[in-house]
Chain A
C-alpha cells in the first residue's frame, strides 16, 4: 500500500534519509525505531507532505500510496492529508470544547450534515475508548483533560475524518504507563481498518505493538523484519517494564 523507492530526504546539504526502498502492507502496524535525528519523523512527515513549507527541504526517489506517486506536481495535497492522518508526540488540542475538537476536521472535510456530528463524535470517541470518560462533559474545554486523554482525543479527531493511514510519532512518549497501555491497545484495535506506522524509542513497545520493525541505525536503514511471535504474545506489563529498568540501572 505504501511504497518507498530509493527514497532520500535532505535539509539543505544535510541528508537525513538515503536510498530507502521498502513497502508497508495494508492493515499492518510497522514500528520505526532508531536513535534521534536519524530521519524517523521525516519519513512520516513526507507521507503527508508536512515538510513542503520548509524552504530547504528536498526529497529524492519516489513514494507511492495505493500506486500513486504522492510527489507528482498535480497531487492534491489536501486530499492526501485526509487520507493520511498523523498523531504527534505531544497531544495538541484546540482551546475549544471536547466536542468541537472531535468534529474539528469533520466540519470542513467530511461531507456529512450537521445533524450527524454528534453520532460521528460518539463513534470515534468510543473507538478511542474515551466516550465513557467524557460523555457527560463534551462541552467542557478539551484543555481540562489529562495528557493521555488529550492524546486519545487527538486520535479521535483524526479518525473522525476517516483516514486510511495513521502515522504515529512517538504518541506515548509523554504519557504515563496506564495511558501508554491504553494507546497501545487502541492501536491494535485500529489495525483492521488502518495501515499504521508507529515511531518509538522503546524496542519492547515495538515488539509488542507492531507486526514489523524498521530500524534506523547509524550506518543505514535496516530492512523491515517481522516481529518474533513470542515477543508479540509475551508482552511485559508496564510495571514489569519499570522493574526491569530499575534492575538494569542498579546493575
Chain B
C-alpha cells in the first residue's frame, strides 16, 4: 500500500514537472508570437533594417546569421566526421576511446562565452583575423564540434555490426568500408547531426557578440576581415538600448524569425532522424 502511494506521488511530481516544462515553452512561444507578429509585414524578411532598427526588415541580419551558420558547419563537419571515423574504425584501445569521448562531453559543457573569449584571442588576435565573420565562424565551428561528433558517433556506432562484418569478409579495405558501407548507411544520422549543429549555431549569441558581429554600418561582408550583422545581435541591441515601441516590436519580430529558423532546422533534423531509425531497422 505504501509503495503504491509513493509511486502515485512520484508519478504526480514528474507529471507536474512535464506539464510545467511544456507550459513554459508554450508561454515563451506565445509571448514571442503575440509581440513579434505585428512587426512581421510582407517585406520583413526581404528589406534591410532602417533608422537604427526602428523600421524595415532583417534581410542582412538573416543573411549574416546564415553565413555564420553555414560556414561553421562546413568547417566543423569534416573534423567531426574524421574524428568519429578514426575513433570508431581505426582506434582499438577502449580506454583511449572513452577518454576521447569524455573530452567531447567536456567540450560540450564549456560555457559559450569562454569559446568566444579563447576563440577571439586565438583566431582574432593571434591569427590576426580581428572581429570578423571568419573569426565568428571558426569559434562557432569549434563550439558545435561536440554536437556534430555526438550525433555522428551515435549514427556510426548504431550501425549493425553485421554490415561491417559483411564488408570485411569480402576483403574491403577500411577506407572502402567507410565510403561503401558506413557513410551511406549513416547518411541520415550525419544529416541529423548537421541540422542539430545548425540549430545550435542559430541560437548562439555570447560567443559571437564581440568577435564577429556588428549592429549597424555593414550589410554583407566584403572581405574575410569584415564583421556581419546577425539576428542575435540585432535582437540584443534593440532589446537593451531601444526605448521607442517600434524598435522593440522589431526586436520581437526578429526573435520570431530566429525561433522559426531554429524550429525549422530541428524539425528537419527530427525527420532525418526518424528516417535513420527506419533504415537501421531494415
Contacts and interface: CB of A to CB of B under 8 A. Distances in A.
Given A53-B92, A55-B93, A95-B279, A161 B162 contact: no
A48 B173 contact: no
A147 to B, nearest CB: 14
Given A53-B92, A108-B176, A94 B166 contact: yes
If over half of B's interface residues share one DSSP class (helix, strand or loop), that class is named, otherwise mixed; here it is helix
B169 interface: yes
Interface in A30-62: 48, 50, 53, 55
Nearest to A101: B166
Contacts of B181: 94
Interface in B152-173: 162-163, 165-166, 168-173
B209 to A, nearest CB: 45
A157 interface: yes
Contact of B94 (A55, A78, A109): A55
Interface stretch (A66-74, A85-93, A131-139): A85-93
| Interface magnitude class on chain B | 10 to 19
B50 interface: no
Contacts, number: 60
Contact of B92 (A55, A84, A107, A161): A55
Given A78-B172, A86-B169, A157-B166, 8 more contacts: A79-B171, A81-B171, A95-B279, A105-B170, A107-B180, A108-B170, A109-B171, A158-B169
B93 A158 contact: no
A97 B279 CA distance: 14
Contacts of B92: 53, 55
A154 B166 contact: yes
Interface residues of A, number: 27
A224 to B, nearest CB: 24
B172 A108 contact: yes
Given A53-B92, A55-B93, A55-B94, A92 B165 contact: yes
B170 A50 contact: no
Nearest to A49: B168
A158 B181 CA distance: 16
B22 interface: no
Contacts of B180: 104, 107-108
